[in-house]
C-alpha cells in the first residue's frame, strides 16, 4: 500500500478518541478524522493533506436554534464545519 508513516491524532470526542494521519507514497498525506468536534490538532495535521476524510454527523441546521449546543454536546462536526476544515 505504500504507507510510509501512520500516526494517531488525538481528537475532541470521548476519551481516547483518535483520527489517523497517513503518508502514502502515491498520494501524499491522508487524514481520517473519526468522530470529533472541530479541533486545532486535526486542523494542524490537515493543512498539508492531499486527502481529508472527515466525519460530518449532521447538516448545519441541526445546530439551530441552539447555536452549536447539540454539536458541542455530542462532540460531532456539522457538514459545513467539515467543509471549512477541508
pTM of the complete model: 0.77
Can you tell me the mean pLDDT for 14-19?
92
Q: For the chain, what percent of residues have pLDDT higher than 90?
A: 44
For the four alpha carbons of 71, 75, 81 and 82, in that order, the dihedral sign comes to: negative
The secondary structure of the chain, three-state, reads CCEEEEEEEECCCCCCCEEEEEEECCCEEEEECCCCCCCHHHHHHHCCCCEEECCCCECHHHHCCCCCHHHHHHCCCEHHHHHHHC
pLDDT at 82 over 90: no
Amino acid at each position: 500500500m505504500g504507507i510510509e508513516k501512520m500516526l494517531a491524532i488525538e481528537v475532541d470526542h470521548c476519551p481516547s478518541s483518535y483520527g489517523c494521519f497517513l503518508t502514502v507514497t502515491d498520494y501524499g498525506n491522508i487524514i481520517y478524522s473519526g468522530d470529533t468536534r472541530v479541533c486545532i490538532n486535526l486542523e494542524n495535521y490537515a493543512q498539508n493533506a492531499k486527502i481529508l476524510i472527515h466525519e460530518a454527523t449532521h447538516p448545519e441546521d441541526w445546530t439551530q436554534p441552539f447555536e452549536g449546543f447539540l454539536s458541542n454536546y455530542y462532540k460531532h462536526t456539522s457538514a459545513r464545519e467539515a467543509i471549512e476544515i477541508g
